[in-house]
A and B are shown apart, each in its own frame.
Chain A
């Protein structure tokens, strides 16, 4: 009997700041949908996207839903791992210790490795 094919590994790359464009939320909702269908999925925050990991977000005055709260729910949905471009986080002064979701900081070489390892990459 042939061995079962390994499952497709998905990577959602998020480059949008949390309240600058609807794609910020769309990216996370897409990752949640992939996880809901029991497909392995990781998330990588890069560029402006690292601003999604700011702690204590308060979106009330802007009339939009709180991205921090959505991110805090990721572990409930079997999102395998959350990564962040460490250089971008440092450049924006994002304190990862206060992030709404635990994110592993990667070096540029590790970012390349992660992208090489995945089968399907969704870039937002």
Chain B
């Protein structure tokens, strides 16, 4: 089955972001396909390259980066949610005259159209948080 994930909650608060990682890992292990994970609202904090988590907490960023490298899943940050939270790629940093990129290169900043597109191609959309 083809899944798309929509992540709404911040990795720094609550369980939604962690459940999304665990769901993705389990679904992929069982042979399902996840083509795209769309991060929206506070969910976009997942892409922050600047966040520092304590050593005794799992790094949510590293979990997503490993999954995307191993399974070629797309990690998309909603552009309007990301910008207002200071999450910028090199292009956005330059366009808005900020000091530099703040997201990990495994993530891509794009529009809500990517979520709509994912929904039309997947069998199931699973929302985390909110």
Contacts and interface: CB of A to CB of B under 8 A. Distances in A.
A and B associate in one complex: yes
Interface of A: 8, 10, 15, 22-23, 26, 29-30, 33-34, 36-37, 39, 120-124
Nearest to A30: B112
Interface pairs A-B: 9 shortest CB-CB = A33-B112, A37-B116, A26-B41, A120-B125, A124-B130, A123-B127, A120-B119, A23-B41, A34-B116
Interface residues of B, number: 18
B115 A26 contact: no
B80 interface: yes
Main DSSP-derived SS at the B contact region: helix
B40 A33 contact: no
A8 B120 contact: yes
Contacts of A22: 41-42, 81
A26 B113 CA distance: 14
A38 to B, nearest CB: 9
A33 B113 contact: yes
B77 interface: no
A23 B112 contact: no
Nearest to B128: A123
Contacts of A122: 6, 125, 127
